[in-house]
Amino acid sequence: MHLYQKIASAALIGLALLGHARAQESDPYLWLEEVHGARPMEWVAARNAASLGELQARPEYKEIRQSVQSMLNSSARLPDVTMHGGLLYNFWVDANHQRGVWRRTTMAQYRRAEPAWETVLDLDQLAANENEKWVWHDVVCVSPKSERCLVLLSRGGGDAHVVREFDMASRRFIDDGFTLPEAKTDVAWLDRDTLLVATDFGPGSTTASGYARVVKEWKRGTPLSAAHALYEGKADDMRVSAEKKFTPGHAYQFITRTVNFYSTELFLCEGGKLAKVPVPEDAQTYTLDGQLLIQLNSDWDVNGVHYPEGALLATDLRRFMRGARNFAVLFAPTPASSLDGVTVTRGALLLNVLDNVRNRLVEARLVKGQWRQRKVDAPAFGQLSATALDALASDDYILKVTDFLHPTTTYLASVGSDQRTMLKSMPAFFDGDAYTVQQFHAVSKDGTQVPYFVVMDKRARMDGSNPTVLNAYGGFQLPMKPYYLGPMGDAWLKHGGVYVLANIRGGGEFGPAWHQAAVKQNRQRAFDDFLAVAEDLIARKITSPRHLGISGRSNGGLLVGAALTQRPDLFNAVVCGAPLLDMRRFSKLLAGASWIAEYGDPDDPEQWAYIGKYSPYQNVRPDQHYPRVLFTTSTSDDRVHPGHARKMAARMQEQGHDVLYWENTEGGHAAAASIAQEVQWWAVTYSFLLEQLK
């Protein structure tokens, strides 16, 4: 670097530091970050009353509320199931079970139109008995018989949960069983009397992101304080966790140190000793029989052989740990295809390939030491998902098929055969034949082709008058795929609304490179892609700025916040849900530190120089005209701090902009802890959009 470049760079850093410090001092809304403080909650109550008072008075509100409530309470919805101990379990929420009921049945019963279910745990009754607002999180059962399970329950829907041991035969919590207090806990069974626990063990045992950095082995009948430490990560790591992976004939105990969102270290734990598994730190791993499966997120050159990012490799685990580096390539990406997921059954892998944002399945089996593959003749819909029924006992799996207009259907399938039995089909909640789905491509600022789907009435005119909502995510390598629109049929499509789903960079639609193209200093590319889609919709006269709205949640909330501040002329409505908006402070709020690998570090002046250019909270101006915004969030969201939405709404109101704000007191990052709350979200959101865009 030349001397004048060094001087200029130092000056820029100095200015960034000065601006950073001044911004720290000049934020008048820091008090809104006190989640449950009296003053912030008074502010929330006032905003909620004003917003709901306006929205509930709109004619569409009651209609949407009634139609969505009918759908979400319908007994004809598909009950998703998992198998434990030979029985099928389902967590079900309806009008009579607002918090939900955990229930079970047999496969023979499940195949019937009206299965006979046995209640295992009634969360509404439990919440009433214990005077707690319990929200179901998950269940972790001991292998292979699942006679004992750990039930994970959250207060209000946050990520933190309590852990309680449950006996499946008696359908009761075990009074003297394993229990853990509320925390962001990772827990797994080592055997019936031993747990692997990563939780808040006290001062110094959690990371800056609020997750555990210590994993211990805890024996039944001993206090948690006596648990034996197996591994301790660093304070600035994201988290640590442990698990025991079972596969026929093999069982492996692993400890994972998650350095950041995309960097991990994997250790094989045997005989009380840890051996690092020498895979790339950004790779994902699976096991099948004695094989180690490695899914690459970056290029890997080994012994003169190049393996591309996005590939799936297989090798013998024991030989690999002894130094062998011979791999079978089970999947290699193409410019239009990526590996969307891997399902492990008793003796096979189901590779879920995303090809131009549509799924297809491929089976992979190890036969006499050689991998064999077979394309699965699955229905040609938009999205396929495969879930192993019992990965230790069989090669059966449940295939779920769906797209924007066709209700989800599930089938019982088996590896090696294209014959399958239909299990359940959800009824149509709107007339899909009245609409059409098209895939278009927009050209982003740097020339990149960005695909997007458009769902609209077949009779719609291309005259720019169609009320249109554009949705995207664009982060954390998560693909946005076709899904059944369900409630949106009544809430939006039947009113002449057009729905658009954009597959912008930052997501995982085309593999790791599509994601990595928009991280850290390249984040603007995701925003440019989104804006390019908006411009393309207008150029095609599908809609116009007067009738175009945008919607996004979480990272998608950041996306629409950036679009709002960068191109307010393109839109007439913005729904910004559970958003990140103050990017200068995101790393200091709740789990925010864990996302530095995605966005960069705002405390580093060089990185703040590019983050600060798009951070919505720092870029909203009083002299700019903005479309009307509806901010939504949850008080109990312990992942993305509600302070982001609160402060942005307060700042925009102070500047004279027209905004609405609604904060649900429960629901966590999912925004709703019951059907009633979810129904209200639909009614609030789509009555707002209809008013603004029709």
CA distance 195 to 333: 38
For residue 5, the model assigns a pLDDT of 37
Report the side by side order of strands in the sheet with 312-316: 284-288, 291-295, 312-316, 328-331
* DSSP secondary structure, 468-491, as one string: EEEE----TT--------THHHHH
Helices (DSSP H) in 308-385: which residue ranges? Answer: 317-321
- 637 vs 207, 578, 640, CA distance in Å? 19, 8, 6
CA distance 414 to 412: 7
pLDDT at 344 over 60: yes
pLDDT at 661 over 50: yes
Write out pLDDT tens, residues 618-628: 999 999 999 99
The single-letter DSSP state of residue 547 is G
CA distance 94 to 97: 5
For residue 1, the model assigns a pLDDT of 38
Can you read off the two tokens belonging to residue 9?
Answer: 């760079």
For residue 75, the model assigns a pLDDT of 85
CA distance 627 to 650: 16
Active site residues: 554, 669
Write out pLDDT tens, residues 441-466: 999 999 999 999 999 999 999 999 99
Angle 59-72/675-693 helices, nearest 10 degrees?
Answer: 140
pLDDT band for position 11 (cuts 50, 70, 90):
very low
Looking at residues 177-186, what average pLDDT do you find?
Answer: 97
Poorest-pLDDT segment among 1-15, 404-418, 610-624: 1-15
pLDDT at 486 over 90: yes
For residue 248, the model assigns a pLDDT of 81
For residue 665, the model assigns a pLDDT of 84
For residue 569, the model assigns a pLDDT of 98
Write out pLDDT tens, residues 402-427: 999 999 999 999 999 999 999 999 99
For residue 671, the model assigns a pLDDT of 65
Looking at residues 580-594, what average pLDDT do you find?
Answer: 96
On the CB side of 411, how many CA atoms lie within 13 Å of its CA?
18
Closest CA to 310 of 344, 290, 335, 286: 335
Looking at residues 428-444, what average pLDDT do you find?
Answer: 96
CB 116 within 8 Å of CB 107 = no
Poorest-pLDDT segment among 66-70, 172-176, 275-279, 496-500: 66-70
pLDDT at 6 over 50: no
- 677 vs 308, 449, 553, 575, 664, CA distance in Å? 45, 38, 16, 17, 8
On the CB side of 265, how many CA atoms lie within 13 Å of its CA?
15
CA distance 590 to 584: 14
Poorest-pLDDT segment among 242-251, 356-365, 684-693: 242-251
For residue 389, the model assigns a pLDDT of 95
Can you read off the two tokens belonging to residue 141?
Answer: 């059962």
What residues contact 125, with CB distance under 8 A and at least 6 apart?
A: none
Looking at residues 95-122, what average pLDDT do you find?
Answer: 96
Residues paired with residue 668 on neighbouring β-strands, in sequence order: none
Looking at residues 342-357, what average pLDDT do you find?
Answer: 96
